[in-house]
């Protein structure tokens, strides 16, 4: 037992199942928030500076049936169904420990209440002025820049790259299996790379080219040979490599390492699968390469539009002044701490040099001096800083990446992305989430001390809850058809790894994401995995089993024996339950006050027409879907 008062704030993970319904009720609002559940009344007063009393929520309605009027906001059927279909099965409302069927009136009312509670909290946060605070305004500005820039990026890069033509497919497949074996040299400066290329084209020995021009780390074997299989590097890198023939020298190729010059010493054609088998991978790789190419082209367009220029002399000066220490302290084998990092070493006479420049949204020339960059650099963590061993190209790439973000923001603002209603709504949803989470933490007050007597009393009443039944863990692969499951079964018995089996035969994203692991399954007739797992010996593999509309194979890896726990083993968990109950009482009390203050009207006659979670999430696989796994 405890000899003094104990403040307990954590709950043992072993006991989530015993009070899952209670936990869900206590944390339901925050769970919804983390999933992006927000009201149709968007955050306008909180971000635009208007008084909450004068907000007009009607302009945000989506013209569907109104399910509830919450203060001045409305929750509509379209919004309800949009939020519901984004839920996972384990996140749906519970009643008496079981998931409520959202096809029933009870289930619909339960989920609607979640949305109502969320909206009450949102409006109360606005009323308290959270949205008017400077930090919230700053957050809104940052989010607008980020989301506006991402929308611009999607429009200019991702959407353009969304499809792969038959011609692009055939072109990639024709080169698949092709491999270039090359000598290489890497230089810091383009001028050096051009000189190295000219020297190599005279027929000079490659070792002489290296000795005279190579700026990178020396190769361990001193051979300076790289093998480049087609399709494994970025298009901007490979296009220049595969543009030359055996024996020829490439043009300088810029990368984050520096400028590469290569001589093709051998061209190898490796075996490749048929187009039918290779098609899924070819489509993925081709699209990724296409995205990369369009991305680089667009970045160059934006840099040219805003006259972005790096002063190469200043770049070299900054590079020379970079501290020699890398990421890790060689003695402690840990990353360097901030107080251990050296400042950028620049002579006073060089601080006034212009490092880089660009034009802003008003077409004004903005010049950044080395002194400005030094201030920023000296404040960077070891992870943010460019490193000397990354060569000059690494420094240039990091500078360009940061400036590109700023230029994209300028371009997004100039093209009206910060005023787009969908982007504003997206940002306001994030801000709403921030405000409601803060309200939940700040507005609920309760006694956070648990006494030994309270622990004893709770244990006397709930001791029977703290029993862990036998459970079993293993691996699972979910397949689309029985035939696929049988092939997976054979592959596992033949010694194929679960990772490869999942790639070759798996058809469920969640199963693949877990690496096929399925853990702590108790004996439960309602669980399709329970029966097979409890019939197998450790290491055994089941025959194909039915899992919903699909099939699966499961292997038993381990058995966790049943256990009865003592109070001292679960005191933290019990303390967490007691505090959670108090927090829930405080939360429900606050909700009742806000409901009375703001007003809530539910239109129950609209509920029967709402679709259930099953209707909204069921997906029928097309018969002609290729590839089917």
Domain chopping of the chain, boundaries: 14-132+444-469+565-622, 177-271, 304-414, 470-561
Written out in words, the top-level CATH class of the domain with range 470-561 is alpha beta
Say which range, 10-19, 116-125, 460-469, 565-574, has the weakest mean pLDDT.
10-19
pLDDT band at residue 45 under the 50/70/90 scheme? very low
pLDDT at 558: 96
Q: What pLDDT is stored for residue 289 in this prediction? A: 87
Q: How far apart are CA 541 and CA 554, in angstroms?
A: 6
Residue-level pLDDT at 255: 86
For residue 96, the model assigns a pLDDT of 81
Q: Where are the strands (E) in 4-117, listed by range?
A: 66-70, 73-76, 94-95, 98-99
Flag the least confident range among 177-186, 230-239, 298-307.
230-239
The pLDDT assigned to 219 comes to 64
The H or E element spanning position 520 is strand 517-522
Report the range of poorest mean pLDDT among 141-155, 210-224, 405-419, 532-546. Answer: 210-224
Instruction: Kindly report the average pLDDT of the chain as a whole number.
Output: 85
Mean pLDDT on 395-400: 91
Q: Which of 11-20, 68-77, 223-232 has the highest mean pLDDT?
A: 68-77
Lowest mean pLDDT among 192-196, 341-345, 507-511: 507-511
Spatial distance between the Cα atoms of 185 and 169, rounded to a whole number of angstroms: 32
Our measurement of the distance from residue 557's CA atom to the centroid of its chain's CA atoms, rounded to an integer in Å, reads 30
| Residue 221, pLDDT score | 61
Span 93-106, mean pLDDT? Answer: 89
Kindly report, residue by residue over 546-593, the tens digit of the pLDDT: 998 899 999 999 999 999 999 999 999 999 999 999 999 999 999 999
Predicted pLDDT of residue 280:
84
pLDDT at 620: 61
DSSP string spanning 204-253? Answer: --HHHHHHHH--SPPPTTS--EEEEETTSS-HHHHHHHTTS-TT-BPPPE
Please give the CATH architecture assigned to the domain spanning 177-271: Roll (3.10)
What is the share, in percent, of the chain residues with pLDDT greater than 70? Answer: 88
pLDDT for 106: 93
Q: Do the Cβ atoms of 110 and 32 come closer than 8 Å? A: no
Given a contact cutoff of 8 angstroms between Cβ atoms, the answer to whether 476 and 66 are in contact is no
pLDDT reading at 48 higher than 60: no
pLDDT confidence of 122, banded at 50, 70, 90? very high
CB within 8 Å of 516: residues ≥ 6 apart: 475, 476, 477, 498, 499, 501, 502, 506
Question: What are the angstrom distances between the C-alpha of 14 and each of 20, 534, 561, 587?
Answer: 11, 21, 14, 25
Q: Which of 479, 458, 423 is nearest to 576 (CA)?
A: 458
Q: What is the mean pLDDT of residues 217-246?
A: 85
What mean pLDDT comes out for the span 332-352?
Answer: 93
Position of tokens 């963590």? 381
d(CA 506, CA 621): 15
Q: What is the pLDDT of residue 42?
A: 29
Q: Which of 151-160, 370-379, 397-406 has the highest mean pLDDT?
A: 370-379
SS3 of 178-202: EEEEEEEEEECCHHHHHHHHHHHCC
pLDDT for 28: 39
Domains 177-271 and 470-561 share a fold: yes
Work out the pLDDT band at 148, boundaries 50, 70, 90. Answer: very high
Residue 303: what are its φ and ψ, rounded to 5°? -60, -40
User: Which of the given ranges, 40-54, 326-340, 556-570, has the highest pLDDT on average?
Assistant: 556-570
Phi and psi at residue 455, in whole multiples of 5°?
A: -60, -45
Confidence of residue 22 (pLDDT cuts 50, 70, 90): very low
Q: Model confidence at 509, in pLDDT bands (50, 70, 90)? A: confident
* Structure confidence at residue 326 (pLDDT): 82
Report how far apart, in Å, the C-alpha atoms of 121 and of each of 56, 94, 387, 428 are.
18, 21, 47, 15
> pLDDT value at position 388?
86
Place of tokens 């072993």: 14
Mean pLDDT, residues 391-412: 90
């Amino acid at each position: 037992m405890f000899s003094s008062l104990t403040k307990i704030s954590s709950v043992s993970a072993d006991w989530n199942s015993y009070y899952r319904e209670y936990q869900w009720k206590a944390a339901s609002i925050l769970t919804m928030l983390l999933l992006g559940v927000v009201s149709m009344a968007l955050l306008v007063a909180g971000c635009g500076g208007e008084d909450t009393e004068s907000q007009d929520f009607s302009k945000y309605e989506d013209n569907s049936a109104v399910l509830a009027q919450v203060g001045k906001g409305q929750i509509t059927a379209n919004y309800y169904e949009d939020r519901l279909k984004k839920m996972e099965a384990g996140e749906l409302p519970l009643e008496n420990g079981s998931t409520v069927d959202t096809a029933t009136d009870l289930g619909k009312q339960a989920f609607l209440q979640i949305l109502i509670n969320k909206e009450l909290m949102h409006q109360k946060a606005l009323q308290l002025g959270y949205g008017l605070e400077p930090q919230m305004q700053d957050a809104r500005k940052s989010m607008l820049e980020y989301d506006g820039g991402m929308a611009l990026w999607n429009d200019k890069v991702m959407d353009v790259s969304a499809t792969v033509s038959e011609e692009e497919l055939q072109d990639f497949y024709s080169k698949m299996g092709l491999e270039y074996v090359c000598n290489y040299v890497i230089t810091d400066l383009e001028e050096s790379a051009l000189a190295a290329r000219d020297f190599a084209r005279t027929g000079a020995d490659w070792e002489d080219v290296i000795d005279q021009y190579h700026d990178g780390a020396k190769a361990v074997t001193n051979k300076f040979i790289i093998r480049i299989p087609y399709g494994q590097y970025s298009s901007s890198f490979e296009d220049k490599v595969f543009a030359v023939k055996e024996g020829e020298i490439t043009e300088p190729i810029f990368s984050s390492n520096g400028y590469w010059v290569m001589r093709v010493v051998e061209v190898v054609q490796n075996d490749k699968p048929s187009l039918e088998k290779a098609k899924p991978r070819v489509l993925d790789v081709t699209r990724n390469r296409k995205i990369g190419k369009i991305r680089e082209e667009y970045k160059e367009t934006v840099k040219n539009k805003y006259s972005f220029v790096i002063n190469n002399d200043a770049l070299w000066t900054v590079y020379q002044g970079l501290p020699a220490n890398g990421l890790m302290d060689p003695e402690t084998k840990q990353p360097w701490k901030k107080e251990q990092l050296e400042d950028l070493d620049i002579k006073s006479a060089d601080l006034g040099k212009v490092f880089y420049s660009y034009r802003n949204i008003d077409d004004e020339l903005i010049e950044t001096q080395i002194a400005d960059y030094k201030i920023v650099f000296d404040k960077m963590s070891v992870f943010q800083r460019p490193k000397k061993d990354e060569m000059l190209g690494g420094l240039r790439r990091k500078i360009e990446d940061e400036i590109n973000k700023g230029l994209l923001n300028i371009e997004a603002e100039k093209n009206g992305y910060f005023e787009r209603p969908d982007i504003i709504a997206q940002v306001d949803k994030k801000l709403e989430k921030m405000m409601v989470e803060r309200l939940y933490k700040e507005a609920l007050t309760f006694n956070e001390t648990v006494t030994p007597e309270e622990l004893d009393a709770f244990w006397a009443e709930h001791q029977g809850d703290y029993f862990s039944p036998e459970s079993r863990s293993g691996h699972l692969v979910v397949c689309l058809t029985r035939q696929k499951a049988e092939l997976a079964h054979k592959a596992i018995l033949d010694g194929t790894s679960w990772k490869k089996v999942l790639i070759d035969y798996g058809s469920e994203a969640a199963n693949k994401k877990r690496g096929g692991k399925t853990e702590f399954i108790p004996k439960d007739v309602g669980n399709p995995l329970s029966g097979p797992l409890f019939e197998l010996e450790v290491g055994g593999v089941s025959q194909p089993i039915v899992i919903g509309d699909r099939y699966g194979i499961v292997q038993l890896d381990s058995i966790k024996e049943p256990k009865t726990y003592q109070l001292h083993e679960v005191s933290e968990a019990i303390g967490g339950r007691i505090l959670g109950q108090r927090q829930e009482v405080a939360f429900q009390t606050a909700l009742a006050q806000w409901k009375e203050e703001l007003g809530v009207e539910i239109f129950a006659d609209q509920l029967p027409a709402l679709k259930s979670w099953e209707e909204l999430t069921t997906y029928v696989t097309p018969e002609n879907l290729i590839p089917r796994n």
